[in-house]
């Protein structure tokens, strides 16, 4: 921590304040949410290793200031369209969710890091990267739990979009099923066994 304090003085960067700013920035730059969430765990007592990570992240942001989100009026022109087409996934849906999870990657408490990205018009409109509360016993369970969280977030966004477009049914149900994409065969089979018709399918992308 002593070395970390020296580095903060040298670079005129207060670790906790900088992390707070980066958390705000991550809402529109989803490429940094994983590392920001990791660094945020050590806000109260950062070490030299964490300061090195923060400086590396700041250099990355300075070197990629032109990178941003893009939305396509013609979704067939987006890079994702080719990815989905190559894997024979329905490309007509405008709302697509990608879900993924590690397993037991947090050495401190044995939790698994999960994340999902929700795309609309092939641009990210919602995302999450966190450590769900349950400690799971397999990668399949970790992937399935994260997919469930992704489905709930996508369902809420779907209902909101349908309400804006006036396409909600009288009972408030969605007009179209959800499209959730993940890469774990066991989790996909678990999802298929509990399919109720509200979720279209789970897909495993070869290139994902």
pLDDT tens-digit readout, 169-199:
555 555 577 888 888 888 888 877 765 544 4
Alpha-carbon distance of 120 to 115, in angstroms, equals 17
Written as six digits, the tokens of 7 are: 């580095």
C-alpha–C-alpha distance, residues 45 and 53, integer Å: 14
Domain residue spans of the chain: 2-63, 75-203
Whether 200 shows a pLDDT value over 60: the answer reads no
Are residues 77 and 36 in contact, defined by beta-carbon separation less than 8 angstroms?
Answer: no
CATH class, range 75-203:
alpha beta
Q: For the segment 134-174, what is each residue's pLDDT rounded down to a tens digit?
A: 778 888 888 988 898 999 999 999 888 888 877 655 555 55
Looking at residue 59, its pLDDT comes to 94
How far, in Å, CA of 120 to CA of 160, rounded?
12
The arithmetic mean of pLDDT across residues 195-206, rounded, is 46
Share above pLDDT 90 across residues of the chain, in percent, rounded to a whole number: 19
**pLDDT of 22 higher than 50:** yes
Please tell me the predicted confidence (pLDDT) of residue 134: 72
Whole-number average pLDDT of the chain: 81
Q: Cβ atoms within 10 A of the Cβ of 9, count? A: 10
Predicted structure pTM score = 0.71
DSSP class of residue 42 equals T
User: 67: which 2 tokens?
Assistant: 């990178």
Q: What is the largest CA-CA distance in the chain?
A: 62
pLDDT at 107 over 80: no
With b meaning 16 or more CB within 10 Å and e meaning fewer, what string describes 66-93? eeeeeeeeebeebebeebbeeeebebeb
């Amino acid at each position: 921590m002593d070395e970390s304090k020296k580095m903060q003085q040298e670079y005129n960067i207060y670790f906790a304040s900088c992390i707070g700013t980066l958390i705000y920035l991550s809402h529109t730059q989803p490429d940094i949410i994983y590392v920001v969430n990791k660094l945020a765990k050590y806000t109260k007592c950062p070490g030299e290793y964490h300061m090195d990570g923060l400086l590396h992240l700041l250099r990355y942001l300075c070197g990629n200031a032109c990178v941003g989100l893009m939305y396509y009026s013609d979704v067939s022109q987006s890079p994702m369209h080719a990815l989905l087409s190559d894997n024979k996934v329905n490309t007509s849906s405008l709302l697509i969710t990608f879900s993924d999870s590690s397993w037991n990657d947090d050495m401190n408490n044995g939790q698994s890091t999960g994340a999902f990205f929700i795309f609309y018009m092939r641009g990210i409109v919602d995302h999450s990267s966190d450590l769900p509360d349950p400690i799971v016993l397999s990668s399949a369970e970790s992937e399935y739990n994260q997919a469930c969280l992704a489905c709930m977030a996508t369902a809420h966004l779907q209902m909101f979009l349908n309400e804006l477009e006036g396409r909600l049914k009288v009972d408030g149900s969605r007009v179209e099923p959800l499209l959730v994409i993940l890469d774990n065969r066991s989790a996909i089979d678990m999802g298929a066994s509990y399919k109720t018709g509200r979720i279209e399918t789970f897909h495993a992308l070869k290139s994902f």
